[in-house]
Chains A and B, each alone.
Chain A
Amino acid sequence: SQQGEEDPQALSIQEGENATMNCSYKTSINNLQWYRQNSGRGLVHLILIRSNEREKHSGRLRVTLDTSKKSSSLLITASRAADTASYFCATRDKGTYKYIFGTGTRLKVLA
């Protein structure tokens, strides 16, 4: 079964709005990462948050991590049509250092 589960599975918003995606996971983690995938392409790393961090920013991205609830959220502010993609969370398993991916959120930003 998947370590991470993203919510919602799909999200459609207007350009300029904010997009929030959530990720839940099951085990103890070393860190949590978010990746972006344009249709049919390879995944690209967006941001990493360590297990001892609660919030991190990178440009228009804001990530939060709540280890007590085993959940994370990714906020994209002032979205653009070019942000249309699938977004995946990935957790770094503390015991084995494997990366486990969630099922992804498909974001569509309408111009």
Chain B
Amino acid sequence: DADVTQTPRNRITKTGKRIMLECSQTKGHDRMYWYRQDPGLGLRLIYYSFDVKDINKGEISDGYSVSRQAQAKFSLSLESAIPNQTALYFCATSDIGQGELANTGELFFGEGSRLTVL
């Protein structure tokens, strides 16, 4: 099984619908992230969470909300989807690290959720 699992992998929806993308991880990491990828724009950070009680906005949080239900689960919601939210969404995790490795850990990505808003 994948360490970082995203569901659904593909979703087509209509403008105005509420959508939830879910992410679960088995790596035991405290830090989780949601990124959006658009062609030519790379990855942009939507929200991140450093532990269950810590939620922070990223570069492009407008129109999105998140919920950190447990250490292993981090969900991204689009309350009222619009066509320009059509994109590939990635969840990622990282470890805190200790000593010299503190705050230097790599990101582990899920396989992505492709969302199309018509």
Question: Number of B residues contacting the other chain (C-beta, 8 Å)?
Answer: 25
Complex A-B: 27 CB contacts under 8 Å = A30-B103, A33-B106, A35-B107, A41-B111, A41-B112, A42-B90, A42-B109, A42-B110, A43-B43, A43-B90, A43-B107, A45-B106, A45-B107, A45-B108, A48-B106, A90-B107, A92-B103, A97-B103, A98-B45, A98-B58, A99-B45, A99-B107, A100-B45, A101-B44, A102-B42, A103-B41, A104-B42
Of A41, A42, A103, which is in contact with the most chain B CB atoms at under 10 Å from its CB?
A42
Query: Is the Cβ of B35 less than 8 Å from the Cβ of A48?
Result: no
Q: Which 3 A-B pairs have the closest CB atoms?
A: A42-B109, A45-B106, A103-B42
**Inside 8 A of B33's CB, which chain A residues have their CB?**
99
Residue numbers in B under 8 Å from A99 (CB-CB): 33, 45, 94, 107
A40 and B104 contact, CB distance less than 8 A = no
| Residues on B facing A (Cβ under 8 Å) | 4, 33, 35, 40-45, 48, 58, 88, 90, 92, 94, 103-104, 106-112, 114
Chain A residues bordering chain B, tally (CB within 8 A): 25
The answer, among A30, A41, A103, for a CB contact under 8 Å with B104, is: A30
Q: Is the interface of B mostly helix, strand, loop or mixed?
A: strand
Which residue of chain B lies nearest to A43 when distances are taken between CB atoms in the complex? B109
Contact (Cβ within 8 A) A103 B110: no
Contacts of A97 in B (CB 8 A): 103
Contact A48 B111, beta carbon cutoff 8 Å: no
Contact flags A29-70 to B (C-beta < 8 A → 1, else 0):
011010100001111110010100000000000000000000
CA distance A88 to B40 in the complex (A): 12
CA separation between A42 and B104, bound complex, in Å? 20
Contact of A40 among B41, B88, B106 (CB under 8 A): B88
Which residue on chain B has the smallest CB distance to residue A2?
Answer: B42
Cα-based distance from A40 to B114 in the complex (angstroms):
9
Complex formed: what's the CA distance from A100 to B48 in Å? 12
Among B40, B94, B106, B108, which residue has its beta carbon within 8 angstroms of that of A103? B40
* B40-A42 in contact (CB<8A): no
